[in-house]
Amino acid sequence: MIGRLRRKNGFTLVELVAVVAIIGVLAGLLIPTMYNVVINSQIASANHLAKTIRDRTAEFLTKLDTQMDTHVGGAETVVIKVDNGVWTLTGGSSDDWIDKVNHWNTLPQVTTSDAGSKRDTELLSYLAVVTQGMGTAYIELHVEYSHVIGVVLIQGASQPAYVMPSLQDMRDGVFDFDGSDKAGRLGDGTVLGTSPILSFP
């Protein structure tokens, strides 16, 4: 009687193999799906941040327009780097503005705590204040006169990717993503946030 109870409470080797096989099949089906969900969420997050930078820059340019401090520079790209809350900007000059004042930035670097006094007159300080908590990012901001043509953003990076969308790509709304099979992700796995969101040609 005791021997029979032990056999009823245990699993046979065949039953264990069947359970392991079922778990293996389910894992084989779910892992690629979960991987795609993670990648899609990274792309969506980067696109959202790029749109935020684009919208806030457009607000700043509109505000300066109303004050007659219009951006009169033609098509150009400025590079913004955020390194753990420290913002720097490369490109642009005082010649880009009708009043000949540098409304990009005058400080070599900006943090949220020291940006307050210049937030109404300089783009870098304005972005540092209105997008607190950015962390680390590499941003290319494409502007022409008082219009933001597009923004490219890489979260967690301080350098550009090996291939980046150009101003013309932003105008056209397409980019080949270096032959990747997913818009928003390069072949090496780098996620590019774009605003407008770019699609394949």
pLDDT at 174: 95
User: Across the strands, what pairs with 97?
Assistant: 71
pLDDT at 12: 81
Residue whose entry in the numeric block shows the structure tokens 């096989």? 21
Q: Is 49 exposed, middle or buried (0-12, 13-18, 19+ CB in 10 A)?
A: buried
| Residue 171: alpha-carbon gap to chain centroid | 18
Question: At residue 134, what are phi and psi to the nearest 5 degrees?
Answer: -65, -30
Question: At residue 147, what are phi and psi to the nearest 5 degrees?
Answer: -115, 140
pLDDT at 4: 53
In 3D, which of 45, 38, 46 has the Cα closest to residue 154? 46
User: Across the strands, what pairs with 89?
Assistant: 80
Task: Please calculate the CA angle 96-170-133 and round it to the nearest 5 degrees.
Answer: 75
pLDDT digits (tens, 9 = 90+) for 142-175: 999 989 999 999 999 999 999 999 999 999 999 9
Instruction: Tell me, yes or no, if the pTM score tops 0.75.
Output: yes
Give the integer Cα–Cα distance in Å for 196 and 175: 11
Rounded to an integer, the average pLDDT of 63-88 is 92
By DSSP bridging, strand 193-195 and strand 147-155 are antiparallel
Domain residue ranges in the chain: 9-195
pLDDT at 21: 81
pLDDT digits (tens, 9 = 90+) for 83-130: 988 999 999 999 999 999 999 999 889 988 777 788 899 999 999 999
